[in-house]
A and B are shown apart, each in its own frame.
Chain A
Amino acid sequence: MYRIRFHGRGGQGTKTASRMLGTAFFLAGYQVQDAPRYGAERRGAPIFAYVRAAKEAIHERGVIREPNLVVVADDSLVPVPAAGVLQGATARSVMLISSSESAATWRDRLNFPGTVLTLPAEASEQAELCFVGAACTGAAARLLGVIPRAILEAAVREELSALGEDIIRRNLEQALAAFDCMEPHAGSVNEGVAFSVADAKAPDWIDLPVDESDAAAAAIHASATSVEVRTGLWRVLRPVIDYDRCNRCWWVCSEFCPDSAIKVDADGRPEIDYDHCKGCMICVAQCPPHAIAAVPEQEFSEKTP
């Protein structure tokens, strides 16, 4: 059985990428499961999607814990522990990262037990972000080695049929270019063995205290518990305030921030809450003296893989 996990950010077509790969497997005669996994997360949030494919009936359910292939559409997710990109990878796993950096760089950085390959960002250079997914599908299909080029094309067409010929064409270009570009590594992903029930591990439950009550659901007694959710992970750009230029007008950035992520102290000094800032950059666009810069998040995570 093949187990493939796609990682990306909401809005990059990760869910569609997994669907296209699932459909390609199906057209190639496999039994398939494919499912995106995201809570209520939206554009920019780390999400993943997975595909299982086998020649016989698939009895496994739930998220993939030991992937044969990990496809990462956005390399800024790799160093983010909560994105879980490296989770469950073994020496037999292949990881494909869409990145402008080389595979060797990633290999050094990651201490990944398996094979690391990159899909050069040039392969999707003219491509806008939303076509990265198609490139990932094409590359994955070639790495698996069991999906012919024509079937890949048919799967892309089938999944995108509602979007019009222009969008289909641009996605196909990306998918097929990536398929061709992975030729040297064709078939490098091996099928995994079936698990037995005995090997199953308990999932990571979140235990919630339940009230003794006759109401249907336990009440939430604290207010604004949403702060427990770290939406700062969604960010690819970080707004950074230059306090020499900030004129303490305060109401602009803090008022316009949709996410209550900019606090101001009594002197009108704004402070950005990076645990929650989603990186919309409205503050950067609206700050009257242009005191807020947009800095790629990677510049902060480089040192801490």
Chain B
Amino acid sequence: MSEQTVTIYKRMKDLPSTRLLGAGTPMCAGCGGLQAVHEIYDILGEKTVFVNAAGCMTLLAVYPFTPFRGSWLYTSMASAPAGAQGVRDALDILLAKQRIKQEQDLDVVVLTGDGAAYGMGLSSTSSAIERGLDFIYVCYDNEGYGNTGQQTSAATPHGARTSTSTDARGFGGFKKDLFAIWAAHRPAYVATVIGSEPLDLARKIEKAKAMKGPRLIIALSPCPTGWDFDPMESAEIGHLAVKTGVWPLKEYENGQVTHTKVPSEWLPVEEYLKKQGRFAHLFKPQRNKALISEIQTRVDAYWAEVERA
């Protein structure tokens, strides 16, 4: 967080204490994605319209039920940013014709999973950023196609078991660096967040809300169902993702990347891995030392690079 920023969220007690997102949604118990979405919504407020690509969160608004206080639009997986363009244009026309007042304007918020953000919808996001679309993109990243049974996506980390990567080493590929891809477009703002760090999240959403243009947020979303852990552990796994350095909290603004939370001491990545069934094959029946240290080395290399910069 840059020094000049004035945030109203200085301490935990400054966070909103009322909840805007309605209870009763069909997300799984312990869903880390829903945790992040409710925290984001608390900051963004009700003057928002959500444009939601197919994924778990589409089930938020199953007619006639919705947890939102405003409108919600459902798009196909690849085209949420295009849907957002339509909504933004409609609002702009209404404003120009003075059919709505400035204070009735809404923030257009795209909400998609990683399957859409890292993969199917990347092209429509890229062109929306190119056009300078005034919108906020929230990707809840549960590192797989969760709603359809956790198939491997472009966000799946190396070594994780998914329903399509079932062999002894798990997924052989690597998680795509969406933060870097988005930042390379030079949009107004890009940030990573996680629901288990609500203060860091609140400051970033507060900042994004005050800006114009394309603002993109990736929320790592511990998913008890897809990652295979007890829902009770959801926030703890979020904490571990940050404390082990697996999920760097950072933001991009004016060509600069800043890390917003750098632990003074790192925990070994296996603290994070061993809590999740999707990595169980790294520990049972034998410890896969090579793969664990390969994952550790990659995390260490990332932070060494950060330090050098």
Contact = CB atoms under 8 A, between A and B. Distances in A.
Interface string A176-200: 0000000000000000000000000
B106 interface: no
A42 interface: yes
Contact of A208 (B19, B31, B64, B69): B64
B34 A258 contact: yes
B131 to A, nearest CB: 28
B231 A250 contact: no
Given A273-B23, A281-B231, A44 B65 contact: no
Contacts of A264: 17
Interface stretch (B209-217, B233-241, B265-273): B233-241
Nearest to A44: B29
Contact of B232 (A220, A223, A230, A281): A281
Interface in B1-54: 12-13, 15, 17-32, 34-35, 38-39, 46
Interface in A161-220: 164, 208, 217-218, 220
B64 A225 contact: yes
Contacts of A11: 225
B26 A41 contact: yes
B119 interface: no
Contact of A226 (B17, B22, B224, B225): B22
B281 to A, nearest CB: 11
A43 B231 contact: yes
Interface stretch (A57-65, A116-124, A282-290): A282-290
B67 A224 contact: yes
Given A224-B66, A251-B17, A282 B22 contact: no
Given A234-B29, A251-B12, A260 B19 contact: yes
Interface string A18-42: 0000000000000000000001111
Nearest to B39: A255
A254 interface: yes
Contacts of A286: 235-236
Interface string B61-72: 011111111100
Nearest to A223: B69
Interface in A228-248: 228-231, 234-235
Contacts of B59: 40
Interface residues of A, number: 50
A284 B230 CA distance: 13
Contacts of B230: 281
Interface in B128-165: none
A11 to B, nearest CB: 8
A259 to B, nearest CB: 5
A46 interface: no
Contact of B66 (A225, A256, A276): A225
Contact of A223 (B27, B46, B236): B46
Given A255-B15, A280-B231, A42 B24 contact: no
Contact of A254 (B17, B32, B46, B232): B17
B57 to A, nearest CB: 11
A280 B29 contact: yes
A41 B56 CA distance: 11
B127 interface: no
B34 A259 contact: yes
A278 B236 CA distance: 18
Given A256-B35, A280-B234, A261 B23 contact: yes
Contacts of B225: 11, 42-43
B198 interface: yes
Given A40-B62, A42-B225, A43-B225, A227 B22 contact: yes
Contact of B38 (A39, A231, A260, A279): A260
A263 interface: yes
A224 B68 CA distance: 5
A36 B145 CA distance: 21
Interface of A: 11, 39-45, 164, 208, 217-218, 220, 223-231, 234-235, 249-252, 254-261, 263-264, 268, 273, 275-276, 278-282, 284-286
Return the 6 tightest CB-CB contacts between A and B, nearest first: A224-B22, A280-B30, A276-B23, A40-B26, A223-B69, A278-B29
Interface of B: 12-13, 15, 17-32, 34-35, 38-39, 46, 59-60, 62-70, 166, 195-196, 198, 224-225, 230-236
26 contacts: A11-B225, A39-B62, A42-B28, A42-B225, A217-B63, A220-B63, A223-B46, A224-B68, A224-B69, A229-B65, A234-B29, A251-B198, A255-B15, A258-B27, A258-B195, A260-B20, A260-B67, A261-B23, A263-B18, A279-B29, A280-B30, A281-B30, A281-B232, A282-B30, A282-B234, A286-B235
